[in-house]
Every structure is written in C-alpha cells, then in structure tokens.
Structure 1
Amino acid sequence: MYVSLNVVLAEDDAEYQQIFQDALDEVNIPTSLTIVSDGQELMDKLKAENSPKYNIVVLDMNMPKKDGIECLQEIRQDEKLNSSYSVVLTGYHNKTLVEKAYKAGANLFLTKPDSYHEYIEIVRKILTSEWQLSLPIFF
C-alpha cells in the first residue's frame, strides 16, 4: 500500500499537458493525474458521481468554455469540492490577475516557467508544499 495524490490538470494546450506529465514523472512522487482540456470539462469531472476526490486542482486561467476564475469560484462554492487545493498555473502574470485568482479561491498562483528544469521545480512545489499536511490522504 502506498500514498498517492489525486491531481487534476485543466490545461487546453496539449504541449503544456505533456510537459506537466513529464515533469510529474521526473518528480517521482506517487500521483494519479487526470487531464482535462477546458473549464467545463474540469467542473464536470470534479462533480461526477464516480470521480475520485482530488487533492489538487491545477488550472490555467485562460481556458475555453469556463475560465480559471469561473472554475475557482464554482469549486469554492461547492461543499464537496472546496477542500481541494487549487493551484493556478498560467502563462499570464500581473497583479490584478493574481488578486482576482486569490479572491476567487486559489491557494497558490504560479507562472509557467520558461525552462523545463524550472517546470519540474514548479511541479515539485505543487506536490510538496506545507499545505499537504492538512489534506486527506487516499490509499
């Protein structure tokens, strides 16, 4: 038996989906990753009756159908979802956007790095931050 984090990545760019998966493999922390391509698919996945409870929701701000802010607000308003650790991982960074993300319920705001090595460190930070001590662990 081992501990595994359930992570869902909401990212519409296939290249970034693959980079996240590769970085996750490099970090080598037991993780079950689900990838969705837009905000509506994310919310459908999170609310599905047969869906696992996700420890971590990683989402881009700029997604089709529902953007990151809309998803964060919906996650925080849902009693079954609001304990998920929500991470914004986006290519955009400005003070207003960061403030909007935190106000909507983000636990962490990160900007997509320029290098793959930095991306690995971002994924490691997401998975190993102090916050994980307060999350339920699934076996």
Structure 2
Amino acid sequence: MQKEAVNILLADDDEDDRLFFKDAISQLGISTRINTVNDGVELMDYLLRPGSTLPHVVFLDLNMPRKGGMECLAEIRSHSMLQSLSVAIYSTSSSDEDIEDTFLKGANIYINKPSDFERLKEVLNKVICTNWQYYTSNLNRENFLMSV
C-alpha cells in the first residue's frame, strides 16, 4: 500500500538553493510533492490561499526579500489555521541569536544549510521522516539544532 506523499513547501529566494534542495529530495526515494516560493510574501499567500492544501512541513529560509523568515514564522504561529504547521528553519545563518529567536518563536527544528550534497540528503531524510507530532513534545534547545 502506497503511503501518502509528503507535501513539502520550501521558501527560499536563492534559485540554486531551491534546485539543490529539489535534487536532494528526489534522490531520497521518498514519495514527496514539493512546492517552492521565492520569498515570505509568496509563502504567506500560498499558505492562506482558500482551498490550498497545507504542507506537512515548511522549510523556511530566514533571509529573504520583501518578508523574511522570522516574520513569516511569527505570522504562522499567530494564525489559528497554521499554528500546528511543522516549520523547519533552513538557513545559512548559524548565529546563536537566530537559533534562539526561532526556537522561542515556535519553529520545530533549525537546520544550517549544508553545502555538501550528501549531507543535505541526510538532513532532509531525517526531517522528512520525523513524526513531528511526537518529536515536538520533547523539543528543547539541545535537539532543536539539527546536525549530521
């Protein structure tokens, strides 16, 4: 019996990063549907569009034009329809302040964008295969920053 495809949404303004991400996921052998948006305005429009299917997990870059990831995260957590959405911060930033802020604002996990393709596949496989309903009940600062 085929499991339901994992519906993934990536918000990232860097086209190369979006292609790298899609290529890595396509090699995992996991049934997925990937949608991408270029910035936070497009992300929120997508999530709040009437009748749109919400993703199982949103990968959210922090540094985007028009509306950044931090602002989107706050908006997602304050909107009743989106509060339970799983949000993985996916950023080049490794600043303690960004990690702490996203933790406090309710992100589920923080991932530093790996530059190595094999490491990216490993991280994405971990994130996509995590049962977020159980994982977030044990969330703390030590397991918030995902490393491979």
Q: What is the TM-score normalised by the length of structure 1?
A: 0.91
Aligned partner letter, 1:82? Q
| Alignment correspondent of 1:94 | 95
Structure 1 position 44 matched with structure 2 position 45: yes
1:117 deviates by 0.5
Distance 1:109 1:128, change over 3 A: same
Larger relative contact order (C-alpha < 8 A, sep ≥ 6)?
A: 1
Q: Deviations over 1:58-105 (max 9, x none)?
A: 110001111111000000011111111000010010111100111112
| Alignment correspondent of 2:128 | 127
| Alignment correspondent of 1:11 | 12
| Alignment correspondent of 1:30 | 31
Cα distance in 2 for residues equivalent to 1:101 and 1:33: 23
Aligned partner letter, 1:17? R
1:53 deviates by 1.7
Q: What is the TM-score normalised by the length of structure 2?
A: 0.86
Indicate the SS of the match to 1:41. helix
Indicate the SS of the match to 1:57. strand
Instruction: List runs of 5+ in structure 2 lacking aligned partners.
Output: 136-148
Q: Which runs of 4+ in 1 moved over 2 A?
A: none
| Alignment correspondent of 1:68 | 69
Cα distance in 2 for residues equivalent to 1:83 and 1:104: 13
Cα distance in 2 for residues equivalent to 1:103 and 1:56: 18
Indicate the SS of the match to 1:101. helix
